[in-house]
Structure 1
């Protein structure tokens, strides 16, 4: 009986089991938040990769990745088909990106199986878990980078989230895959030794989540009153000239009702025109009126640099003088078209509605109501190191986004989940204003204090507590985890080989 499980998982049946395990992975992320599911699903994958012949193991890991990505990120089809190049382009791009993204689990499992060299203990306890985290980290910067579906995010409401202020999302990922690896050992051989390894790994991880969960930062001054405006404009109408006036009037109307708040925040590109086109007639008078009530307005708006003749996706602090933050991490095809020198205008059907944006160069802080605000725009909130660059100087964090691109899908919930992790890592309040939702006030522990619904115009109001100080993660970001992973993988590679290399079978 003890050998039945390894025999089944190592057979062709293992391919189907891997597919099902990958299909279960989205349940770990928002809005489902079943944080135990990824531990079990990864344990199943690691068990299959360990006992299956090499080709079958790699096939299983690729099927796992395809199911994982396809069911988690089907919203890519919505973004491309509805707001880009149509149904055919949506199907083609979604399939292509899914097949490419599924290569990352394949690469992690291939590396782990190779370094494990047929030794079950080394493969499950060391090689596979460390290879998984290494590939997750490489994925965060390779080809402009993405952290979407990083396993650590699944634990934002679980007992491992206390690791975040010290070792960040990848530290949580490491704990998850180490637990999964030891659990896989129990699945393959439920003997006392493996049970002890699992219990120790689980215990140390849970103890780390509890022991590291402390207040690394401190409140500074009194809370400020905030109002986050969610305009709710459909993406297909947002940039049409005939809708511009109605858009501006809705934002004015929603804002005027909350004059008296210290800070009012509008979403990414809430103003569907360049700053210089509407500043004199609309933005400046609105800022003067707000200032009479002690209110400062931050808004997303495209800005043109007339000297260099380039445009930025920006957040503006309205007033005299205005101040700007320029988005640094741009989304390919959403904000600029890559390879334009090669393809010219051929790929414009997938590009930004206002043409290519240029990237900003620094994490400029905006001074509002006596507080220093660290600003990010949309996708930037998914990069922990980028958000940490504004700290410890920033007292509060602000993220503006336009998630209308995602339609009615899982993506707005996943995006909010990543924003919550940034608040948890930095122990700062994070104010997130979006066009269509989910607009939220997030506290320094990553908990949503106030939020608005999807696809409704609403103003989310509340208080935000400025904080000072730096978490360990802010100081060293991902370097300790990456260094530890590389050191562990090097040790696995140098570990004396005591039996035939299972990778070649």
Structure 2
């Protein structure tokens, strides 16, 4: 054991004595267990175990290379398990050969695993320069969360399946204050303190749990007016036929019939519900939809592809049915390799092996004005835009209700839809606004102001979710400040550890 750390025997000592490949294999398996801490199973205590084992092997590990390798192994297992659905979109629906889809999925997971690897390398360096409680209980958690933040930003970012989301049931009360990265930090610090001094760690865990329970009873925002009836349409058009020309009329018929049957004042259709550009959709069909909505007094939001003002520009968008050219939302955070090709000179060759419709979207610009309908102001977000908390809050701040438009048929047979719903629940608590989600194949749901799923449709079924929502005004601390306070605290924490090292104070 390195100097500055309390001498201890048992599991930790035996782990550190094992060959690197054996510890790496154990960490990869442990990381893979993390998927069960997230939705749909939601076994949140597993996150403490999964993160705890990683921190345990990092404890006192002063060799940056070894610590990085262990962090990479853990991350590879964790991300292969949590983003396995990438294989489904590439092979089952993208037409890529199975072996190539497996290679691409593994390489993507390996890229994501680089972030805990970097955290491990820095954690090893920090503990070598300044071993002790402060470096392990503050420095290591701070480095882990900073790496998570980098993962959510670099190359447009991919913060999917952050381990902090698993703590929604027990630490959700902190979200309006700290956001999801703040909750991840609370989890990481508690785990490290438990490993250092278990009694102090359990005391800290109790304080955080009690604090979360108390904060959950604070209402940061206030309802505006009475309930509004909402209808969310789930057409359940399989992805393998959605963009086939011969099935185009099927989509038109399904959503026309559902709109006529919907009972809500606000009706929401999912992402690209109509598989054509707005300008190319039959005018008589759109006129029929407007007539149905007008006769029944419905406000309708429709997910559809939009052509831009310049040649070759088109957007994944949302329109208000009664004035589609005047009021539009254009998706601003696009999916790499799904909606656009990053660095075509390097990655353009991939598209020779798969077929993805509309893969050259342009990005909209934020902030965008909400839709004034349904008794309030509705902020739209499309597909996975609701996993970017700091960006999400920009448009949410100007709205009284949130609406997500998704087509997760690309990942049918996986847990991707449930994972995204869990992240949407976190966005509700961060922003103090209720949220409706209209999806093609699921999960179509309404998330209440307390972050719980009030109503939902079964996945892979065709139906209409009839529910009620409330508009809310006001702002949470997180909505006002975003992630900035957490990043400042993390940087200050790391700097304190480094400066303390230079003074040689234990």
TM range (shorter): over 0.9
Structure 1 residues 42 and 346, CA gap change in structure 2 (3 angstroms): closer
For residue 143 of structure 1, the aligned residue among 147, 152, 155 is: 155
Q: Deviations over 1:60-113 (max 9, x none)?
A: 222111111111211111111112222132112111111111111111122122
| Counterpart-to-counterpart distance in 1, 2:353 and 2:362 | 19
The equivalences for 1:296-315 within 5 A come to 296-315=299-318
| Distance (whole Å) between structure 2 residues aligned to residue 285 and residue 455 of structure 1 | 27
**Which of 212, 217, 225 is 2:215 aligned to?**
212
What secondary structure does 1:220 align onto? strand
Q: Select which of 401, 405, 410 maps to 1:405.
A: 410
**Counterparts in 2 of 1:307 and 1:5: CA distance versus 1, 3 Å:** closer
Is the 2:194–2:202 Cα contact (8 Å) retained in structure 1?
Answer: no
CA contact (8 A) 2:27 2:74 kept: yes
Looking at structure 1, the residues matched to 167 and 402 of structure 2 have their Cα atoms a distance apart, in angstroms, of 22
Gap change, CA 1:280 and 1:206, over 3 Å in 2? same
Quick one: structure 1 residues 380 and 321, their matched pair in 2 at CA, closer, same or farther if it must change by over 3 Å? closer
Give CA-to-partner distance per residue, 1:244-296, whole Å, 9 cap, x none.
001110111112111x4211111100000110112512123211221121101
Matches within 5 A, 1:57-136: 57-84=67-94, 85-117=96-128, 119-136=131-148
Q: Go from structure 1 to structure 2 and tell me whether the alpha carbon gap of 1:342 and 1:112 turns closer, same or farther (over 3 Å shift).
A: closer
Q: 1:254: which partner in 2?
A: 258
Q: How far did 1:483 drift?
A: 0.5
CA distance in 1, matches of 2:30, 2:349: 41
1:337–1:352 contact (8 Å) kept in structure 2: no
Partner of 2:495: 490
After TM superposition, which residue ranges in structure 1, 4 or more long, deviate above 6 angstroms? none
**The 10-residue stretch of structure 1 (351-360 or 367-376) with the greater mean CA deviation from structure 2:** 351-360
Separation in structure 2 between the aligned mates of residue 430 and residue 382 of structure 1, nearest angstrom: 14
1:418/1:110 CA distance change after superposition, 3 Å: same
The aligned counterpart of 2:391 is 386
Alpha-carbon contact 1:287-1:296 (below 8 Å) kept: no
Secondary structure class of the residue paired with 1:156: helix
Match among 418, 433, 439 for residue 423 of structure 2: 418
CA distance in 1 between partners of 2:308 and 2:209 (Å): 50
> 2:230 aligned with 1:221, yes or no?
no
- Secondary structure, counterpart of 1:47 in structure 2: helix
CA distance in 2, matches of 1:351, 1:180: 44
The match for 1:317 is: 320
Q: Deviations over 1:323-352 (max 9, x none)?
A: 210000000111111223566666354574
Matches within 5 A, 1:94-493: 94-117=105-128, 119-158=131-170, 160-185=171-196, 194-213=197-216, 214-258=218-262, 260-278=263-281, 280-320=283-323, 322=325, 323-340=327-344, 347=351, 349-350=353-354, 352-362=356-366, 363-493=368-498
Cα distance in 2 for partners of 1:295, 1:371 equals: 14
Distance 2:238 2:207 in 1: 48
Q: Extract unaligned runs of 5+ from structure 1.
A: 186-193, 501-505
- What's the counterpart of residue 18 of structure 1? 27
Residues 1:350 and 1:181: Cα distance change in structure 2 (over 3 Å): farther
Partners of 1:369 and 1:183 in 2: CA distance: 49
Number of residue pairs the alignment of both structures matches: 491
Separation in 2, partners of 1:440, 1:286: 23
- Structure 2: how far apart are the matches of 1:385 and 1:349? 35
- Structure 2 CA distance for aligned equivalents of residues 306 and 498 of structure 1: 60
Q: Is the aligned partner of 1:37 residue 2:46? A: yes
TM-score, with length taken from structure 2 = 0.92
Q: Which region of structure 1 is more displaced relative to structure 2, 271-280 or 456-465?
A: 271-280
CA distance in 2, matches of 1:381, 1:100: 22
- Per-residue Cα deviation, 1:450-475 (whole angstroms, up to 9, x for no partner): 10111111111100011110011100
* Residues 33-54 of structure 1: per-residue CA shift (max 9 Å, x gap): 1111111221111111114462
| Aligned 8 A contact 2:259 2:289 in 1 | no
Contact (CA 8 Å) 1:325, 1:375: kept in 2 or not?
yes
Q: Supply the distance in 1 between the matched residues of 2:330 and 2:483 (Cα, whole angstroms).
A: 24
Deviates more, 1:264-273 or 1:321-330: 321-330
Gaps of 5+ in 2: 1-6
Using the alignment, how far apart are the partners of 1:41 and 1:102 within structure 2? 15
Give the CA RMSD over aligned residues: 2.1
